[in-house]
Amino acid sequence: MPVYRLIIKRDGRLIGHFESTAASALDDSRDIAARLPAKDGYQLSLQVAEGERRLLESTPQGIRLLASENLFVSTPEGLLGELDRHPSPQ
């Protein structure tokens, strides 16, 4: 199941991101994007997890997962539909 991250900026300043692993993650991201209009200064970009980085510990008792981190890449433009608003480079 894909993991999506919607990055939210306003007037060029990072506000935060919404990350979802739910089956409806893409639709949920589109719903949130629809509530953040460009006319109010919002810039949005959508990323999808393409892999995972894992930190493992190996001891005589075995291998243990200490941490994992999704590795995100930008999605093709248009995945948010008409709501696609990528931040302009600064």
Query: What is the pLDDT, as a whole number, of residue 83?
Result: 58
| pTM of structure | 0.77
Domain positions in the chain: 4-78
Tell me: pLDDT of 46 over 90: yes
Average pLDDT over residues 39-55: 94
**What is the spatial distance between Cα 69 and Cα 53, in angstroms, rounded to a whole number?**
5
